[in-house]
């Protein structure tokens, strides 16, 4: 579910509401959410610790603790982080709860119906062993910055369908299905173009489209679809879905040309939305 803009929105919420507060108690319900390590490792690693910093790399949230350890949270498809007053009734599928000191006392909930997401406490000195995917992650367009020249080099480094390349977290980190389809549409580039055959003019357009879509979506607090799966830390909805031009609009008139209908096809199991007239 959450892509870079949604994760960034959560990160900003954590920055304001959770940084500097000590964790007094930790509850782990479903062990699957902490499967990378163990229930004990997460409870022992977090109890008594204070989160001093919250960073994001791609779709990974990385919290620095005053103990020297780091806490990684990945929301995958259905994960949510929520802050609520201590003692508030918890929603179904609340698998990890961090009790935060303060007045009033609050709790940070990790809620995840599909249980694809995870919470990991690890020693950053052992990152290569405990979180190997972090070392292999590609450039984050927002956190690291991504200029046109570097983007052009990434496109030419492989010969793949452009959509597959943009979704590959080892190449560019943070773009998911929604923002990929939206960026390709804005740039007028079809999903099945070869990455190394995109023209210089198209590279310029696609680079600008990616930066704009991600930036605008962050400003809008991400996209909250009809199922309301994604919400921010306080349960607030994002509104970028109101600006979607192709995602989840199959069969509807293209908002760009006003003449063709949006087509949806399956590409490697992912729904892919595009305008056959605007994108070539």
Q: Under 8 Å CB-to-CB from 209, ≥6 apart: which residues?
A: 182, 183, 184, 186, 187
Identify which of 159, 177, 185 has the alpha carbon closest to the alpha carbon of residue 266: 177
Distance CA 104, CA 122 (A): 29
The edge-to-edge listing of strands for the beta sheet with 51-57 is 51-57, 60-65, 70-74, 118-122
The minimum distance between CB 197 and DNA, in angstroms, equals 11
Distance CA 56, CA 243 (A): 24
25 touches DNA (CB under 7 A) = no
- Residues 49-68 touching DNA, rule: CB under 7 A, are 58-60
Is-contact 120 93, C-beta < 8 A? no
59 given a catalytic annotation: yes
Active-site residue, selected from the candidate residues 21, 264, 270, 277: 270
Q: Under 8 Å CB-to-CB from 102, ≥6 apart: which residues?
A: 21
Identify which of 104, 100, 103, 97 has the alpha carbon closest to the alpha carbon of residue 81: 97
| Chain position carrying tokens 């990385």 | 62
Helix 200-219 to helix 148-156 angle (10° resolution) is 120
270 given a catalytic annotation: yes
By CB under 7 A, name the one of 119, 161, 231, 245 that touches DNA: 161
**Of the listed pieces 18-26, 40-48, 118-126, 269-277, which binds DNA according to CB under 7 A?**
269-277
**Cβ proximity to DNA, 106 vs 272, nearer residue:** 272
**Cβ proximity to DNA, 101 vs 265, nearer residue:** 265
The minimum distance between CB 268 and DNA, in angstroms, equals 4
39 touches DNA (CB under 7 A) = no
177 touches DNA (CB under 7 A) = yes
202 given a catalytic annotation: no
Peptide bond into 104 cis (omega under 30): yes
**Of the listed pieces 141-149, 176-184, 211-219, 253-261, which binds DNA according to CB under 7 A?**
176-184
Distance CA 124, CA 201 (A): 41
Active-site residue, selected from the candidate residues 57, 59, 80, 163: 59
Residues 120-159, one symbol each (x = binds DNA by CB under 7 A, - = not), give: -------------x------------------------xx
Interface size with DNA, residues (CB under 7 A)? 42
List, in sequence order, every residue forming a beta bridge with 64; answer none if it has no partner: 53, 70
99 touches DNA (CB under 7 A) = no
259 given a catalytic annotation: no
Identify which of 162, 230, 244 has the alpha carbon closest to the alpha carbon of residue 8: 230
By CB under 7 A, name the one of 33, 106, 169, 279 that touches DNA: 169
The minimum distance between CB 91 and DNA, in angstroms, equals 10
**Of the listed pieces 20-28, 143-151, 224-232, 251-259, which binds DNA according to CB under 7 A?**
224-232
Binding site for DNA (CB under 7 A): 1-3, 32, 58-60, 74, 76-78, 92-93, 113-116, 133, 158-161, 164, 167, 169, 176-178, 223-227, 229-230, 241, 266-271
Catalytic positions, please? 2-3, 59, 270
């Amino acid at each position: 579910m959450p892509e870079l803009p949604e994760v960034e929105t959560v990160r900003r919420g954590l920055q304001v509401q959770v940084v500097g507060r000590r964790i007094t108690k930790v509850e782990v319900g479903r062990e699957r959410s902490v499967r990378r390590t163990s229930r004990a490792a997460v409870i022992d690693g977090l109890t008594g610790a204070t989160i001093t910093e919250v960073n994001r790399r791609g779709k990974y949230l990385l919290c620095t603790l005053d103990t020297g350890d780091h806490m990684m949270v990945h929301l995958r498809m259905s994960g949510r982080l929520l802050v609520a007053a201590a003692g508030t009734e918890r929603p179904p599928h609340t698998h990890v709860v961090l009790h935060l000191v303060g007045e009033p006392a609050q709790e940070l909930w990790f809620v995840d119906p599909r249980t694809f997401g995870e919470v990991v406490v690890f020693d950053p000195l052992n990152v290569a062993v405990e979180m190997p995917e972090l070392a292999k992650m590609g450039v984050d367009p927002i956190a690291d910055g991504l200029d046109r020249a570097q983007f052009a080099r990434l496109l030419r480094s492989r010969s793949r369908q452009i959509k597959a390349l943009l979704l590959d977290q080892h190449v560019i980190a943070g773009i998911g299905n929604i923002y990929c389809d939206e960026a390709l549409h804005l740039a007028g580039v079809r999903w099945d173009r070869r990455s190394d055959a995109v023209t210089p003019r198209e590279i310029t357009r696609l680079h600008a489209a990616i930066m704009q879509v991600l930036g605008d979506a962050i400003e809008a607090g991400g996209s909250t679809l009809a199922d309301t799966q994604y919400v921010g830390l306080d349960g607030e909805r994002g509104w970028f879905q109101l600006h979607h031009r192709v995602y989840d609009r199959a069969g509807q008139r293209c908002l760009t040309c006003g003449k063709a209908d949006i087509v949806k096809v399956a590409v490697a199991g992912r729904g892919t939305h595009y305008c056959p007239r605007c994108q070539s």
